[in-house]
């Protein structure tokens, strides 16, 4: 009979379909990283509820602060910031011990993370030791090795549904080719994923973080190479109107952000400052325009940098507050945090927790 021949064939086809559906894809690890902060479809940062997250916050130099900047985090909360980029180094001067050089440990980092999360601020943890590195191929692996140290990793993985890891701050002084910089970051991403990191990883642009063009050519390749497609691309917009090492007109700035928007990538201005300090001279940046464009394009921005409460010697021309207090905000710092249509206070939205 015809039916006796058809049924075995149908059963065989059904088994093939089921086996194909059950087969694990090589490019999709068996990890549901979307239960926390994650990059959605390689395009934008989202929280665990699937809401788009636009970072609005500041940089805080924790390793230069007394008590590791815990007081400053309380003051930053008053801006309404939804994120803080925490500046870390492998060693710091412990002012509670007379400035003794002390290793940064997981135990030291954990209170920073829990404090930020309790205040509704996403911790963006970055390693500052390799800023302006002359050889990213040798130095970026050193940064990766620090993140994968047992005591650091155990704390970071504990909170990784709620944090962002910025592998290294500006780990290139402009000497690396695009291919070299891409390959160094690919190696670092692979090492962190193999170590169990599933959280969003933030990559700084080359050439002191300023070369946004790198992401236009290499951003998609980096994203595709990450098995979780969970990367953020950070540009440090030290683009002064008239600088010693480059001039950026309003038209240049508009074109730069237009190009970044057209890339379709998740972009953050990881450092947005009022000026570029070159040889001790402050060359003004049209930061207000950058804030406006970030708001229009859905880009995050993190102002550089907050300021210090018990260590005024660490303050400089770019400190938003010279006493580490919200009430001490002044000049561009006051404008960025409060007195602008696109300020942190006016545009920051807290994430779903």
Contact assessment for residue 185 and residue 140, using Cβ atoms and an 8 Å cutoff: yes
pLDDT confidence of residue 239: 97
The label of the residue with tokens 């990883």 reads 201
In order of 27, 254, 288, the CA distances from 342 in angstroms are 39, 16, 8
Contact assessment for residue 96 and residue 67, using Cβ atoms and an 8 Å cutoff: yes
In order of 59, 66, 157, the CA distances from 82 in angstroms are 12, 23, 21
Mean pLDDT of 64-78: 96
pLDDT confidence of residue 31: 67
Render pLDDT for 30-68 as a digit per residue (tens, 0 to 9). Answer: 567 888 999 999 999 999 999 999 999 999 999 999 999
Instruction: Give the model's confidence band at 268: pLDDT under 50 very low, under 70 low, under 90 confident, else very high.
Output: very high
**Shortest CA distance to 65 belongs to which of 292, 229, 310?**
310
Identify the CATH homologous superfamily for domain 34-347.
Glycosidases (3.20.20.80)
Secondary structure letter of residue 303 according to DSSP: E
CA dist 199 and 156 (Å) reads: 9
CA dist 241 and 59 (Å) reads: 23
Render pLDDT for 173-190 as a digit per residue (tens, 0 to 9). Answer: 999 999 999 999 999 999
Query: What's the predicted TM-score (pTM) here?
Result: 0.91
Exposure string of 299-314, with b = 16+ CB inside 10 Å and e = fewer, is bbbbbbbbbbbebeeb
Mean pLDDT of 225-235: 98
**Shortest CA distance to 174 belongs to which of 136, 127, 144, 221?**
136
pLDDT confidence of residue 15: 44
Instruction: Give the model's confidence band at 260: pLDDT under 50 very low, under 70 low, under 90 confident, else very high.
Output: very high
Render pLDDT for 189-213 as a digit per residue (tens, 0 to 9). Answer: 999 999 999 999 999 999 999 999 9
pLDDT confidence of residue 32: 76
Count of H helices and E strands in the chain? 11, 14
The label of the residue with tokens 């919200």 reads 326
| Strand 231-236 to 201-204 pairing | parallel
Contact assessment for residue 244 and residue 275, using Cβ atoms and an 8 Å cutoff: no
The label of the residue with tokens 């959280």 reads 199
| Residues contacting residue 82 through CB under 8 Å, at least 6 positions apart | 53, 55, 56, 57, 120, 121, 122, 348, 349, 350, 351
| Residues contacting residue 19 through CB under 8 Å, at least 6 positions apart | none
**Shortest CA distance to 88 belongs to which of 121, 54, 114, 126?**
126
Residues in the chain, total? 353
Render pLDDT for 114-157 as a digit per residue (tens, 0 to 9). Answer: 999 999 999 999 999 999 999 999 999 999 999 999 999 999 99
Contact assessment for residue 330 and residue 342, using Cβ atoms and an 8 Å cutoff: no
3-class state of residue 92 by DSSP: strand
pLDDT confidence of residue 279: 86
Mean pLDDT of 159-175: 98
% of the chain at pLDDT higher than 90: 84
Instruction: Give the model's confidence band at 98: pLDDT under 50 very low, under 70 low, under 90 confident, else very high.
Output: confident
The label of the residue with tokens 């979307």 reads 34
Render pLDDT for 288-306 as a digit per residue (tens, 0 to 9). Answer: 999 999 999 999 999 999 9
pLDDT confidence of residue 23: 40
Mean pLDDT of the chain: 92
Contact assessment for residue 133 and residue 172, using Cβ atoms and an 8 Å cutoff: yes
Instruction: Give the model's confidence band at 231: pLDDT under 50 very low, under 70 low, under 90 confident, else very high.
Output: very high
Contact assessment for residue 260 and residue 70, using Cβ atoms and an 8 Å cutoff: no
Mean pLDDT of 252-279: 97
The label of the residue with tokens 């920073």 reads 112
| Residues contacting residue 76 through CB under 8 Å, at least 6 positions apart | 57, 58, 60, 84, 119, 121, 306, 326
pLDDT confidence of residue 16: 43
Contact assessment for residue 286 and residue 253, using Cβ atoms and an 8 Å cutoff: yes
Mean pLDDT of 13-19: 43
Round to the nearest angstrom and report the end-to-end CA distance of the chain: 62
pLDDT at 101 over 80: yes
The label of the residue with tokens 């492998």 reads 90
């Amino acid at each position: 009979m015809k039916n006796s021949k058809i049924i075995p064939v149908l059963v065989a086809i059904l088994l093939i379909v089921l086996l194909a559906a059950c087969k694990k894809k090589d490019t999709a690890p068996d990890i549901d990283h979307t239960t926390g902060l994650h990059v959605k479809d390689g395009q934008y940062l989202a929280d665990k509820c699937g809401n788009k997250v636009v970072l609005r916050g500041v940089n805080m130099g924790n390793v230069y602060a007394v008590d590791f900047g815990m007081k400053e985090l309380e003051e930053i909360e008053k801006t309404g910031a939804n994120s803080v980029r925490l500046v870390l180094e492998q060693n710091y001067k412990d002012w509670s011990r007379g400035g003794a050089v002390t290793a940064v440990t997981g135990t030291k980092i954990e209170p920073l993370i829990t404090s930020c999360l309790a205040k509704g601020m996403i911790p963006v943890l970055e390693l500052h030791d390799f800023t302006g590195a002359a050889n990213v191929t040798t130095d970026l692996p050193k940064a990766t090795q620090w993140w994968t140290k047992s005591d650091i990793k155990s704390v970071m993985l504990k909170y990784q549904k709620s944090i962002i890891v910025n592998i290294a701050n500006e780990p290139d002084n402009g000497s690396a080719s695009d291919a070299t910089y891409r390959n160094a970051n690919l190696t670092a991403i692979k090492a962190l994923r193999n170590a169990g990191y599933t959280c969003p990883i933030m990559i700084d642009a080359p050439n002191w973080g300023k070369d946004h063009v790198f992401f236009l050519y290499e951003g998609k390749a980096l994203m595709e190479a990450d098995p979780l497609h969970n990367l953020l691309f950070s540009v440090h917009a030290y683009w002064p109107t008239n600088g010693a090492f480059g001039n950026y007109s309003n038209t240049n700035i508009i074109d730069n952000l237009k190009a970044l928007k057209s890339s379709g990538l998740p972009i953050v201005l990881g450092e947005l400052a009022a000026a570029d300090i070159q040889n001790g001279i402050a060359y003004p940046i049209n930061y207000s325009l950058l804030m406006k464009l970030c708001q229009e394009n859905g880009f995050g921005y993190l102002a550089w940098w907050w300021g210090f409460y018990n260590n005024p010697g660490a303050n400089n021309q770019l400190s938003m507050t010279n006493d580490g207090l919200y009430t001490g905000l002044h000049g561009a710092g006051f404008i960025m945090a409060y007195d602008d249509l696109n300020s942190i206070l006016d545009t920051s939205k807290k994430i779903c927790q």
